[in-house]
Amino acid sequence: MQRLLMRNPIAVATLWIVAYVLICLFPLAVALLHPAPVNRNFWVEFSVALGFIGLAMMVLQFVLTARVNRIETSYGIDILIQFHRFTSLAAFFIVVAHPLLLFVVEPDTRSLLNFFEAPLRAQLATIGTLAFLVMVVTTIWRKPLKIPYEPWRLLHSVLAVVAVGFGFGHGLLVGNYLSLFWKVVLWSGLVLAALWLIVYVRLVKPWMMTKKPYLVEEVLPQRGNVYTLALRPQGHDGFTFEPGQFAWLTLGVHPVHMREHPFSMSSCADQSDRIEFGIKALGDFTRRIKDIKPGTKAYLDGPYGVFTTERYRDSSGFVLIAGGIGITPMYSMLQTAIARKDNRSFQLLYAAASWDDVTYREELEAMQDKLDLTIVYVLRKGHDGWEGATGYVDQDLLKQYIPHHRGSRQYFICAAPVMMDAVESALFDLDVPVTHVHMEHFNLA
């Protein structure tokens, strides 16, 4: 059975979804093992059930963001983060629906909204709900509110702990379904597990990372305002990864500060003694990469991601569609393919603003002599004398260049969100099997 699951990623992914649903419902099922309070109507009991489910979902959010390797390899960080966002919103609405139902069916409970005169159980519920609300608002509108990434991340963790801790305290003080000792132990175990994940991510994992530091070997300028950051392991062998994966990089500070950023490895996956990242100068952190001095200490948490050709060893070839800095994971795939003497077909469609913005241009050209590689450059606006493709990677262009037998290749897309959405839609219209299309986002906050 275990071997079957290992060979079937869909079965593994389905198993985790079933586990998630069961864990959400398990505390509710346990609550029903004890007789319900008498003289309460259905809607009051339904409201209580929503409270238990919402709290269980809040606890599970800690698992989704803890980078548990076995879960991450089943879906990839992209899908987990999206699932985390949607289930967090669902949990928030469920938690809010819990008191609103009570206020409707039992109007006397509205007096609990008077915070200073309300009993402690109601005060805890109010604080926990407000913390949850602030967490949702600052996450959805972080960029419009101009909240920097690192402070937001710390605030997010603190608010999550407050929401779960105070929600649990509210349930204990209400006591109708948590009056038995073993039920208190059960819920305490769930909450403590969530808090342990915070401690593990914030303290234990950073401490483990300090045991395997890296040093910046050099920073090389590339075309397109991109810099190659090369790291060499200090006192250890580094790590191996699959081409296309990424790692969280902490640079110049102790990892406990949690100033980490996700970047795709751009180097060959078989070269663990020197790990390279292609980083485009876009934000506050990335603009400082060019000023990093050799010898600066760095730490890596990884590798992560399922955006890799290694998961499709039976494929006859690959179509790689990149836009701008999205070339980074593709470059790693191609370098690794050359090192492993891969004789399969590779086709690269690379969109850039101009010819001078084509990162790794000379290196890519040289790769065509070492690999069955066809490159199609798509420039936003071609220069004088340019005879190649111009404009955008749209359906007409894809129809012209991708294989006639659509299902014979695996398609990898990494670009700006607008381009990725457009390419995904175009491939769907061109009858490319949806299971053959793989995308990598970096909007992880």
Per-residue pLDDT tens digits for 131-180: 999 999 998 898 888 888 778 888 888 999 899 999 989 988 887 777 66
pLDDT (0 to 100) of residue 12: 61
Q: Which residues, 6 or more positions from 365, have their beta carbon under 8 angstroms from its beta carbon?
A: 375
pLDDT over threshold 80, residue 281: yes
In terms of Cα–Cα distance, which of 388, 332, 398 is closest to 359?
A: 332
Neighbours of 314 (CB within 10 A): 5
Q: Which residues of the chain are in CATH 3.40.50.80 domains? A: 309-439
- Residues 150, 259 contacting (CB under 8 angstroms): yes
Give whole-number Cα distances, 239 to 271, 299, 416, in Å: 9, 12, 28
72 pLDDT band (50/70/90 cuts)?
low
How buried is residue 153: exposed, middle or buried, by Cβ count under 10 Å (0-12/13-18/19+)?
middle
How far apart CA 48 and CA 99 sit, in angstroms, is 9
Q: What is the pLDDT of residue 331?
A: 96
Cα 291 to Cα 176, 221, 227, 281, 288: the distances in Å are: 60, 11, 10, 11, 5
- What is the H or E stretch that residue 415 is in? none
Domain 214-304 in this protein, CATH class: mainly beta
Asked whether residue 305 carries a pLDDT value surpassing 70, the answer given is: yes
> Is-contact 344 317, C-beta < 8 A?
yes
* Residue 332 predicted with pLDDT over 50: yes
Q: Report the first-to-last Cα separation within the chain, whole angstroms.
A: 37
Pair of tokens at residue 287: 């603009």
Share of the chain above pLDDT 90, in %: 47
Confidence check: pLDDT of 5 > 50? no
Average pLDDT over residues 101-123: 91
Specify whether the CB–CB gap between 166 and 131 falls below 8 A: yes
Max mean pLDDT range (2-6, 7-11, 188-192, 226-230): 226-230
CB of 173 closer than 8 Å to CB of 120: yes
Q: Within 10 A of 264 (CB to CB), how many other CB atoms are there?
A: 27
Report pLDDT for 442: 59
Classify residue 382 by burial, with Cβ atoms within 10 Å: 0-12, 13-18, 19+.
Answer: middle
Stretch(es) of the chain classified as CATH 2.40.30.10 = 214-304
Give the CA-trace dihedral at 422, 426, 429, 430, to 10 degrees: -170
Q: Which residues contact 398 (CB under 8 A, 6 or more apart)?
A: 349, 423, 426, 427, 430
Strand duo 373-379 + 345-352: pairing: parallel
Task: Report the alpha-carbon distance of residue 208 to residue 210 in Å, rounded.
Answer: 5
What architecture does CATH give domain 309-439? 3-Layer(aba) Sandwich (3.40)
More confident residue, 140 or 66: 140
In the structure, what pLDDT confidence band is assigned to residue 183 with cuts at 50, 70 and 90?
Answer: confident
Average pLDDT estimate for 362-390: 91
Query: Is the pLDDT at 444 greater than 70, yes or no?
Result: no
Span 289-312, average pLDDT = 91
Structure tokens at 369: 């002599």
Which of the four pLDDT bands, split at 50, 70 and 90, describes residue 198? Answer: confident
Give the torsion sign (CA, 177, 179, 180, 186). Answer: positive
Question: CA 178 to CA 76: how far, in whole Å?
Answer: 37
pTM here? Answer: 0.79
Nearest CA-CA partner of 331 in 277, 369, 262: 277
Pairing of strands 317-323, 410-414: parallel
SS3 306: coil
